[in-house]
Structure 1
Amino acid sequence: MIDPVLTRRWTYWAIFIGLAGVILFFRLLPLSTSPRVLPGPDLLICLAFAWIQRRPDFVPPVLLAGIMLLADALLMRPLGLWAALVLLGAEFLRSRQNPSTEMPLPAECGFVAVVVLAITGIYALLLGVLGAAPPQFTMLLVQAFLTVAVYPLVVLFSVGILKIRKPTQSELEAARTAR
């Protein structure tokens, strides 16, 4: 017999992988031949953090680590550094997530903003310490602020179109009895 909870979870895993593929495709696509003045927001982080705040079981750590490692390789970043920091940030958010209470969107955005700025700062610091060719710190900050600014739109997309909401009390009870 097919378990509907597992089927739903696998469906959202596939949706997450598909959206990550689309995001990476457009990040790699040469849309302009002139150099970019401003970096774009990191939509992959927004998507992962928005889903983790609502349904952490839809973004397991192994899936997030694999996608972020692939993004590191494709975007020619130091392999594993950004992936590890995003995974640490995601696990921090996951540990602070309470499935029984709904956090207001402004508080959630502030919480995510602190995490995004922290992992960006640690990333710049580690690039400097390791002697890698660091991107300009101001560009990293601009990207972090743009990521935070776009986060509410990604949340609205996730909730409104993809129907990713916090689990209901009955779903929480069913998950507890299944364990």
Structure 2
Amino acid sequence: MAERDAWHTWASRGLFAFIALGIMFFHLLPLETTPRGWAAPDLMLATTIAWTIRRPDHLPVLLVALLFLIEDLLYQRPPGLWPALMVLLTERLRLGEAGYRTMPFLQEWFYTAFLMAASVTLYHVLLSVFFVDRPPLGLSLFQTGATILFYPAVVGALHFLIGIRKLSPGESETSGVRS
């Protein structure tokens, strides 16, 4: 039983890494050759938040840091700041994870929208403080809004396609079975 639980945890971690790398790959594909005036939703951010709320034990902090650092390097952003903010965000979500089990989805959606907006705002403020070139604020606000709007679709995909769901209050943290 313990080997099955450990295998399930590692398989879930591998699946998250595969999904994250797939998101990065498709984001880098040159589907358009002209610059566009809008930004696609940050599916990596939405997936990470949704996965952390549903199964925090399957998403270690080092995996989050590594994948977001890879994303920074691939997207040619200043390396380290966004991964640090994502580590802080996921750790904040881990601290209150017992409360998310009984939280209705609409409340979760508003809370995650606040966290996404706060993270992007803090990112822009810190880039300004360190005099680093930053993306246009309007584009970042559009992307954050699109990410917030896509969050329910990401949660639905995790729940219905992959089977990642919130643990109910009576379920074990590591096994996903009632204790």
Task: Using structure 1 for the length normalisation, give the TM-score.
Answer: 0.92
Q: Does 1:60 align with 2:63?
A: no
- What SS class does the counterpart of residue 45 from structure 2 fall into? helix
- CA gap of 1:115–1:90, structure 2 versus 1, over 3 A, is same
Contact 2:100 2:108 (C-alpha < 8 Å) held by counterparts: no
Deviation, 1:36, is 1.5
Alignment size in residue pairs: 175
- CA gap of 1:146–1:173, structure 2 versus 1, over 3 A, is closer
Q: Does 1:69 align with 2:56?
A: no
Distance, in Å, in 2 between the alignment partners of 1:112 and 1:87 is 15
- CA gap of 1:116–1:57, structure 2 versus 1, over 3 A, is same
- CA gap of 1:7–1:82, structure 2 versus 1, over 3 A, is same
Counterpart of 2:87 in structure 1 is: 87
Contact 1:99 1:166 (C-alpha < 8 Å) held by counterparts: no
Letter in 2 for 1:41: P
Counterpart of 2:172 in structure 1 is: 171
- CA gap of 1:132–1:156, structure 2 versus 1, over 3 A, is same
Counterpart of 1:13 in structure 2 is: 13
Task: Using structure 2 for the length normalisation, give the TM-score.
Answer: 0.92
Contact 1:72 1:79 (C-alpha < 8 Å) held by counterparts: yes
Segments of 4+ moved more than 4 angstroms:
172-175
Distance, in Å, in 1 between the alignment partners of 2:174 and 2:48 is 25
Distance, in Å, in 2 between the alignment partners of 1:127 and 1:69 is 16
Distance, in Å, in 2 between the alignment partners of 1:117 and 1:51 is 18
Counterpart of 2:127 in structure 1 is: 127
Contact 2:53 2:97 (C-alpha < 8 Å) held by counterparts: yes
Deviation, 1:167, is 2.8
Deviation, 1:129, is 1.1
Contact 1:39 1:139 (C-alpha < 8 Å) held by counterparts: yes
Q: Does 1:29 align with 2:29?
A: yes
